[in-house]
Amino acid sequence: MSSAVFIGTVQISLRALERVIALDFPLNAICTLPIEKGYRHSDYVDLAPIAESNGIQCFHTEFINSSEAVHEIQSYQPDFIFCIGWSQILSRNVLEIPKKGCVGFHPSPLPQNRGRAVIPWTILQGRSETAGSLFWLDEGVDSGEIIMQHPIELDYGETASTLYDKQVLGLENMLNEVLPLLKDGRLPRAVQNHGTATYCSKRTRSDGFINWELPALDIWNLIRATSKPYPGAFSLYEGSEIIIWEADLIKSPIHTGLPGQIQAMENGHAIVSCGGGTNLIVKKVQVLGKNEAIPSEVLKVQSRMGLSRYEVASKIIEQNNK
């Protein structure tokens, strides 16, 4: 009977782990990130509670390639390692532990969009379709042989949250098909076409800062791409950070104003001027440290969000003079 060690630490890890357990795939141990390091991931989940409730050994590590973590995994002598929702690339020392291989998941149609922050980048790229991929991990960046892929269509207004949910559902469907194959010793493999590979770079919270001088379409894409479980697109308003959680395009703008200026309120939503004479309708906001709110509860008509070019230049000069 095949056995495995499961490695993960985010929401999608939990859902995958629940599926592995539901399908009675034997797990020797679960490895997750310590709670005090959970700030590394906006969608962090500690897997220790589900391990305990199912009688599965659990250990924590902040670096999967440390000698301590390698020794711990080796002690379980697994046939497989499932590494789903873990941002560190596994070293050769870890990859060589399981008898049959290490299974990973990536939310893209590999070899396209290898790398980091793939769900936000997928929306920012303006794609109408994507996929999730189960694959065999190797020492490269998402370059191992494909086990299975699940196609996904993006809807109008797709957000990081809704796309995340679609990727989770696709992963669960793939596990339903793949885990019985692995149990039976069948190991599907299809080599990636490395010549067509593309890559996504890391994103940080600061990359969600809104430049209101951009067209409304670009800002709308950013808001959707950085929505929950990510930190959100944000601006400045009356000296505080304000997150824009939900917005929509206005296809026929009737307001002209300065970028970031609130022109009107409609049903509690704010019409905001953007670059190129475009308008965006902002539907849900959150001042840092406060609860989410409709814009009419926070924003004032004719006030302005963001920084002007003069203010940006002044801040740069101020920093350079320190």
Confidence label for 253 from pLDDT (cuts 50, 70 and 90):
confident
Task: Indicate if the pLDDT at residue 308 is higher than 80.
Answer: no
pLDDT of 162 reads 97
263: left (phi over 0), alpha (psi -120 to 50) or beta: alpha
Task: Indicate if the pLDDT at residue 95 is higher than 70.
Answer: yes
- Average confidence (pLDDT) over 18-37: 95
| Closest-CA residue to 180 (of 48, 19, 6, 11) | 19
Task: Indicate if the pLDDT at residue 320 is higher than 80.
Answer: no
Contact 94, 70 (CB under 8 A): yes
| Closest-CA residue to 156 (of 224, 210, 211) | 224
pLDDT of 217 reads 96
Task: Indicate if the pLDDT at residue 221 is higher than 70.
Answer: yes
- Average confidence (pLDDT) over 241-266: 95
pLDDT tens by residue, 103-113? 999 999 999 99
Task: Indicate if the pLDDT at residue 38 is higher than 90.
Answer: no
pLDDT tens by residue, 48-65? 999 999 999 999 999 999
What is the distance in angstroms between the CA of the first residue and the CA of the last residue of the chain? 65
| Closest-CA residue to 107 (of 170, 192, 47) | 170
Backbone angles phi, psi at 135, to 5 degrees: -150, 165
CA dist., res. 48 & res. 61, Å (int): 12
CA dist., res. 280 & res. 261, Å (int): 10
Backbone angles phi, psi at 249, to 5 degrees: -80, 150
Q: Residue ranges of the domains in the chain?
A: 4-200, 205-320
Contact 20, 28 (CB under 8 A): no
Mean pLDDT of the chain: 93
On whether the 205-320 domain is CATH 3.40.50.300, my answer is: no
- Average confidence (pLDDT) over 33-47: 88
CA dist., res. 207 & res. 259, Å (int): 19
Confidence label for 280 from pLDDT (cuts 50, 70 and 90):
very high
As a dihedral over the C-alpha atoms of residue 210, residue 113, residue 61, residue 170, rounded to 10 degrees, the angle is: 100
pLDDT tens by residue, 135-182? 999 999 999 999 999 999 999 999 999 999 999 999 999 999 999 999
pLDDT of 247 reads 98
Spacing of C-alpha 1 from chain mean position: 34
- Average confidence (pLDDT) over 73-101: 96
Class of domain 4-200: alpha beta
H/E/C letters for each residue in the chain?
Answer: CCCEEEECCEHHHHHHHHHHHHCCCCEEEEEECCHHHHHHCCCECCCHHHHHHCCCEEEECCCCCCHHHHHHHHHCCCCEEEECCCCCCCCHHHHCCCCCEEEEEECCCCCCCEECCHHHHHHHCCCCEEEEEEEECCCCCCCCCEEEEEEEECCCCCCHHHHHHHHHHHHHHHHHHHHHHHHCCCCCCECCCHHHCCEECCCCHHHHECCCCCEHHHHHHHHHHCCCCCCCEEEEECCEEEEEEEEEECCCCCCCCCCCEEEEEECCEEEEECECCCEEEEEEEEECCCCCECHHHCCCCCCECCCCHHHHHHHHHHHHCC
- Average confidence (pLDDT) over 239-245: 94
